[in-house]
């Protein structure tokens, strides 16, 4: 019987060691996730990073409430995609003063009706520019800066 009892004790010790190692691995994984999240938050740009707020212009793009549930909006500034705006979403960003091109397409493109919508904007320091993405009367998606009140997302 000592042989069988020794086997049981060895198995118990192995199980204790495995449990200890697994517990430590889980603790290390949790610590790494907290450390990674903290470093990501530290790298996010702040709107007041070294300059006054009046040096830049601000851009707000809201998605109209009746835009649809299956489409998302691909928003680009000067040819660089800055946001994918989903249901009930919006975009807020900072623009340097000067001329910019705002572009919008929908995803997926609906029955060939969606065309690239572009608007030029001459951003002035300290000003806020608000647009609403909506479907116009001809079933084309567009960016409007003075949409009817019933289509605005507040």
* Selection from 57, 55, 65 nearest residue 127 by Cα: 57
pLDDT for res 30: 82
**What are the pLDDT digits (tens) for 6-39?**
888 888 888 889 898 889 888 888 877 766 665 4
User: Facing residues of 117 across strands?
Assistant: 104
Distance CA 140, CA 128 (A): 25
* Selection from 97, 83, 91 nearest residue 52 by Cα: 97
> 53-151: which CATH number, 3.90.550.10, 3.40.630.40, 2.60.40.2890, 2.30.30.100?
2.60.40.2890
User: With left for phi above 0 and alpha for psi between -120 and 50, is residue 57 left, alpha or beta?
Assistant: beta
9 neighbors 1 (Cβ within 8 angstroms)? no
pLDDT in single tens digits along all 154 residues of the chain: 457 788 888 888 888 898 988 898 888 888 777 666 654 443 334 444 444 456 889 889 888 887 777 788 888 898 888 888 888 888 998 989 999 999 888 887 665 555 667 888 898 898 888 888 887 765 677 777 764 444 444 3
Report the residue count for the chain. Answer: 154
pLDDT for res 45: 44
Residue with tokens 């009892």: 5
pLDDT for res 51: 45
Kindly state the tokens that stand for 99. Answer: 């001329």
Residue 33 has a CB neighbour count (10 Å cut-off) of 10
Distance CA 12, CA 151 (A): 67
């Amino acid at each position: 019987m000592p042989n069988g009892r020794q086997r049981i004790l060895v198995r118990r010790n192995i199980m204790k060691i495995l449990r200890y190692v697994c517990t430590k691995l889980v603790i290390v994984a949790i610590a790494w996730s907290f450390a990674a999240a903290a470093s990501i938050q530290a790298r996010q740009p702040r709107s007041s990073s070294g300059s006054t707020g009046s040096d830049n212009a601000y851009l707000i793009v809201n998605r109209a409430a009746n835009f649809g549930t299956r489409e998302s909006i691909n928003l680009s500034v000067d040819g660089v995609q800055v946001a994918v705006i989903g249901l009930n979403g919006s975009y807020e960003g900072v623009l340097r003063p000067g001329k910019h091109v705002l572009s919008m397409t929908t995803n997926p493109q609906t029955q060939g009706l969606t065309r690239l919508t572009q608007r030029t904007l001459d951003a002035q320091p300290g000003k806020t520019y608000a647009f609403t993405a909506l479907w116009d009367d001809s079933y084309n998606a567009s960016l409007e800066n003075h949409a009817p009140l019933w289509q605005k997302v507040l």
